Amino acid sequence: MLKRSRGRSMRLTPEYKTRSSARKHRITVMREQSVNESGSNVVKPVPVGNYWASVAPLSERMRTQYQSISVAATHTITVGGTIDVKEADKIKFNGRDFDILTIKDADENRRDKVIITQEIRPGQKK
């Protein structure tokens, strides 16, 4: 994305940098927890919270880079840096399910977290 800054020359900003106003998607972070149902403990995904995020499919170039290291990544999800999310969690968005592959703090200042995910489609083996 090209960005102009007050008469200075055009500079290239990385894809992962988003403004909070660009977070227009509502996601739900799900975490597996032990739930007591009728006397027996059952492990079920439980919602941790709903958050604003930016959800985008990976470009073909990025997909190829991840496939070269045997990672089947399909989407990036950018959220605020203070959100409690772990790699063992799942994400729900518009009725779709995503497995979290990795989480990175894009510029090491806890402003944004970039989550690399894989969409899980119905009938697809994990």
- Using CA atoms, how far residue 1 sits from 4, 25, 29, in Å, is 10, 20, 28
Output the pLDDT for position 93: 92
Does residue 12 belong to any structural domain of this protein? no
The H or E element that residue 64 is part of is helix 60-68
Does residue 45 belong to any structural domain of this protein? yes
- CATH code of 77's domain: 2.40.10.270
User: For residue 11, is pLDDT > 50?
Assistant: no
Does residue 20 belong to any structural domain of this protein? no
pLDDT in tens, 65-118: 877 777 788 889 998 888 889 999 999 999 999 999 999 887 777 788 999 999
- Judge whether 116 and 76 are in contact, CB under 8 Å: yes
Output the pLDDT for position 71: 79
Does residue 105 belong to any structural domain of this protein? yes
Indicate the burial class of 78 (C-beta count within 10 angstroms; 0-12, 13-18, 19 or more). Answer: buried
- Could you tell me the pLDDT band of residue 15, with boundaries at 50, 70 and 90? very low
- Using CA atoms, how far residue 113 sits from 105, 107, 108, 110, 118, in Å, is 5, 9, 9, 7, 16
The closest alpha carbon to 58, from 124, 126, 122, 116, belongs to 116
Domain total in the chain: 1
- Name which of 5-14, 19-28, 40-49, 72-81 the model is least confident about: 5-14
Which tops the pLDDT comparison, 52 or 124? Answer: 52
Does residue 3 belong to any structural domain of this protein? no
Query: For residues 97 and 28, what is the distance between their CA atoms, to the nearest angstrom?
Result: 10
Query: For residues 16 and 71, what is the distance between their CA atoms, to the nearest angstrom?
Result: 19
The closest alpha carbon to 92, from 24, 29, 46, belongs to 29
pLDDT in tens, 35-50: 787 778 888 889 999 9
Does residue 57 belong to any structural domain of this protein? yes
Output the pLDDT for position 89: 93
Does residue 15 belong to any structural domain of this protein? no
Does residue 18 belong to any structural domain of this protein? no
Domain extent at residue 71: 25-120
The H or E element that residue 68 is part of is helix 60-68
